[in-house]
Chain A
């Protein structure tokens, strides 16, 4: 049974943060949820999709974050409660619509759930989406533990509906992808009726058209400012803002989100409960001014602990300046002072270091001689460079792309995109990828490069994208390439799902998020309809793939090659070998072959290793996924592949 369906009110279960958020959304009575997959946000929609039928929900994986936000807003306009989910940079995609949505406000409660990745553990950026709350003028809520992840999510929906504005609910990797005990509450069984009332007068956003436009902007912003004022008055009383510590601490920590747990731990380890106060804020924009002023009176020294940027620090300093006459001058510690790193993910050790420095205390986690041993030991553990999984189609695809570019011999390069295939920049992808930015930017940049002929540029330009990325943001670039006559080749690495984030379905598949049959949008047909020259093949057929890529490279205009092979980790494929692989040790010539140990030194697949004693290659049975690619490249024919029945 899904964790979300527990009914024993008041009982405690182990919830992943994202499950807790999903459960909170259910307890808050949502009917519609939409999102675009992105670590660490994906499990919220996944979990809700699984129980959509039982709970009468509509749940979708949208084409991109902007569409997800629009789907959620439509539900709100029709009187339903909704959420949309995304990772931190997804807000940048959705922001144009969100900017305009503050011009009308919402009807049913609507929450934009942003799961951020401080330290960029699974991202190409560590964007801080909290700034959007200030920029767009909407309330911002951040849970400080797993119980709050559920409880605040529910409250966010109530708050949004009461204030008539969407609110931003912000989580981080160590909240979304961490797990803890959560006491569940009541889950309403709703059967709401959707109706978009738009018959009322203009500028009446409760019954009239939902429209933004010249003439109404200043009025709409005034209304929004009134909502923010009301938010502040509610935040002043919020149980999600907590203080623990002495009446007059030497130092006051102000923090939020996972940093609250790090701060608590650091205070515990350093035994500082009677010297340091801890103010945990759950409502971080607009700030509850009176509450913070009250805590300013406790002490003259304040340490602000947050990640990844100094959003709270800036805003709290403004409050301190405004209140200086009443609360006196304060010494601030944080990112600006250098006590907290200005980039990267925080952890309890960073907070410990900051407290040691500010309060001049001694603490070493382990005895000195142990620390010395530990330091020497770390060099014994070899580093692990990222690589494609055994049996990953991308390894084969990049091998052929690399070889085709070499044979094409025009100094060609690959513009990468967002997905596992970003690893193409490393030796695992034969270092073919030379640019990598945001979703869809691979083809966008390649299209730009492909227009530079008049300035003498003669290099071949290739872009790669995944199947989900294709729908998200690559199509507009392809239209541009075709219409504006760019010489560019797009390779779609179609592995039948949004693989990196856990195989969420996308518009190219025959099923939707809720597991229902859906009309697949065929990538090849779309590219043809746009006007590109299209070819497709299986990357595991290395010879055909290489020939096809080379033929297409030599053509002009906008071309698309679709390399289609299912991800090795997909539920359909996982654990199923195409071939049983083995090395004929009598045939492998090892170092004397002249192949430069192509299977191990060049292909670098985790499933085949070099036997340093026997001086031949070996298949690791436990790891090999049986794709057969190594057999295709062995010049001696020493690698045998037998079809698995």
Chain B
């Protein structure tokens, strides 16, 4: 397992809806990269934006210290979205023709959609739009797979495993086991490793 950074800084945006745990996901990934000796800068918003709103974590991976905690427009290398329509929102601002993406296919309907005042795009429409805005993308059922493991909470680890599976970052399941797993309750270690493997396999096929 020896992958160099594809670019420096390598720019990742992890997006989703408040409450989905994108802060936790960005922390896990960052922890693994820092343990490999990289400098990581993360920018995120907490607070009001969490209450049903769109949330983003901007992550810069570099060998040369701190970067702006806000990624400039059009400079995302990888967009990881815990919710399908949020991927579109982020790609339209931060994507470029070389951007890759990983998307969880479980929608979270905005309240205006729930109330019938707005429409949620179909999965086909979302896939077609994402295809236009990325050079390579994966849509996986992380939430469904997590439910099979017993709780939607595992979806974020599945997504991290899938990021590894995409082969873009210098991380591996061994980093996950040595850096992240020790901070989890002991009885949750095995199932989280399983979640990571599931994610990796979903992308590697």
Contact = CB atoms under 8 A, between A and B. Distances in A.
B141 interface: no
A572 interface: no
B114 A610 contact: yes
Interface stretch (A379-387, A451-459, A577-585): A379-387
Contacts of A609: 109, 113-114
A178 B43 contact: yes
Contacts of B113: 382, 609
A265 B133 contact: no
Most buried by B among A173, A374, A375: A374
A372 to B, nearest CB: 10
Interface residues of A, number: 71
Interface residues of B, number: 65
Given A370-B97, A377-B133, A382-B112, A39 B53 contact: no
Given A380-B85, A387-B111, A366 B68 contact: no
Contacts of B18: 389
Nearest to A602: B115
A610 B116 contact: yes
Given A348-B70, A366-B96, A386-B53, A14 B30 contact: yes
Contacts of B39: 180-181
Contacts of B125: 380
A529 interface: no
A266 B69 CA distance: 13
Interface stretch (B44-52, B185-193, B195-203): B44-52
A392 to B, nearest CB: 8
Nearest to B130: A377
B167 interface: no
A639 B147 CA distance: 23
A606 B109 contact: yes
B69 A374 contact: no
Given A261-B67, A384-B52, A179 B41 contact: yes
Given A177-B45, A177-B46, A377-B88, A146 B66 contact: yes
Contact of A606 (B97, B111, B118): B111
Interface in B36-85: 39-49, 51-54, 65-75, 85
A389 B152 CA distance: 17
Interface string B143-187: 100010000110000000000000000000000000000000000
Nearest to A182: B66
B152 A384 contact: no
Contacts of A173: 45
Contact of B132 (A181, A373, A378, A569): A373
B41 A178 contact: yes
Contact of A381 (B30, B69, B88): B88
B132 to A, nearest CB: 5
B51 A386 contact: yes
Contact of A366 (B71, B74, B126): B74
Nearest to A366: B74
B45 A378 contact: no
A375 B95 CA distance: 11
Contacts of B93: 374, 378
B14 interface: no
Interface in A173-188: 173-175, 177-181
A122 B53 CA distance: 12
A174 B46 CA distance: 11
B204 interface: no
A402 to B, nearest CB: 16
13 contacts: A173-B45, A261-B66, A365-B74, A370-B97, A377-B133, A378-B89, A380-B88, A382-B119, A382-B120, A383-B118, A386-B53, A575-B153, A623-B108
Query: 4 closest pairs, A vs B, by CB?
Result: A122-B47, A365-B74, A178-B69, A387-B52
Interface of B: 17-19, 30-31, 34, 39-49, 51-54, 65-75, 85-86, 88-89, 91-93, 95-97, 106, 108-116, 118-121, 125-126, 129, 132-133, 143, 147, 152-153
